[in-house]
Amino acid sequence: MFLPKKKHILVLNVGSTSIKSRVFSFSGRKEKEIFTWSKNDIDPKNGHQKYFGELLSDLKKNNLFEKINAVGHRVVHGGMIKGSSLIDEKIEKIIKENEKLAPLHNPYNLEGIRTIKSWWPKGVKQVAVFDTSFYKTIPSFASTYPIPLELSKKYQIKKLGFHGISHQYVANVTARLLKKPLFKLNLITIHLGGGGSITAIRNGKAVDTSMGFTPLEGLVMGTRSGDIDPGIIFFLARKIKKSLSEIEKILEHESGIFGLCQAKNMLELIEKYQKKDPAAILAFDVFTYRIKKYIGAYYAILGKCDALVFTGTVGAGRSLTRRKITRTLKNGVLKNTKVLVVKTNEEKMIAEETDRIVKN
């Protein structure tokens, strides 16, 4: 009897303050998660290398290091790259070039790629799975910004979208739950964690999303402002005499939920909210109001919606957030729409993509 050879794929999801890693075993069409490892609350000032060393040690202890056939990486900003790609010098250069557009992600994604190179000097195939790839189907009228067209073309400025790996995974799972092919479904998927995004999916393909040229656009997030009047930037530059890089830091790291009520995460926000802290009540109301606005807009774009799907640590976490968002919508746009909660699994999606690319 012929037994298919097993393939072991290591997945590395490196963020500014975390490392998540899993190993998946592939045998024919079957896949199985056989190893999971994570480290949170990393101080980016001290670097990630100590923790990469711990991961390497644990892989060896579990007799997995020598079995790894390929490594898949989550990479947030892929610029104009259309899909998952084998990593070579050209791909590394593109990831590096986009660091300024995703400063909380790309530098650390690249650090993970270079660390893997040092582990396997003779080479193990590495695949970059981009958050931006899922959004290549967004039509030009939805992805084009109304700035001078020559600037858009010269600097490749357009809506790119992020969290695509999560939204794609959740859409696939939703299709299975509803027992319908994905290409026959219209969905609105909402990923809420430290960052947040919402995506409109028509016939299985993304047609709009809240994040844009950078992950700063869109919903109110943990420390990111999301949508604001761009005139505020110039107003602040004049009023508080800050440089553009200093204002960028404010919008990336000191705004959002934290800027409104000093809550360090959503759990702390909810605790403050339930204690009727006025600033927390305002922050929670602003947060959920923006999400409801996007749901209404995307429902108008889609015409009909088969399911509204929540995911992410916040979206799939406590029901308080979901109830607050959907309460006033159930007799309106959500009257004939299912509301689902699907736990995301970006690492599984990355492993499947890595397996597909390595096979080709």
The residues that are catalytic are 131
Give the DSSP per-residue string, 285-346: HHHHHHHHHHHHHHHHHHS--SEEEEEHHHHTS-HHHHHHHHTTTTTTTTTT-EEEE----H
Question: Do 315 and 342 meet the contact criterion of CB atoms below 8 Å apart?
Answer: no
Interacting residues of 7 by C-beta distance below 8 A, sequence separation 6+: 25, 26, 27, 69, 70, 355, 358
The owner of tokens 């400025």 is 157
Name the residue among 53, 157, 52, 164 with its Cα closest to residue 108: 52
- With contact defined as beta carbons under 8 Å apart, do 297 and 314 qualify? no
Q: What is the CA radius of gyration of the chain?
A: 21
DSSP 152-213: HHHHT-S---S-HHHHHHHHHHHHHHHTS-GGG--EEEEEESSSEEEEEEETTEEEEES--S
Q: Report the alpha-carbon distance of residue 107 to residue 184 in Å, rounded.
A: 38
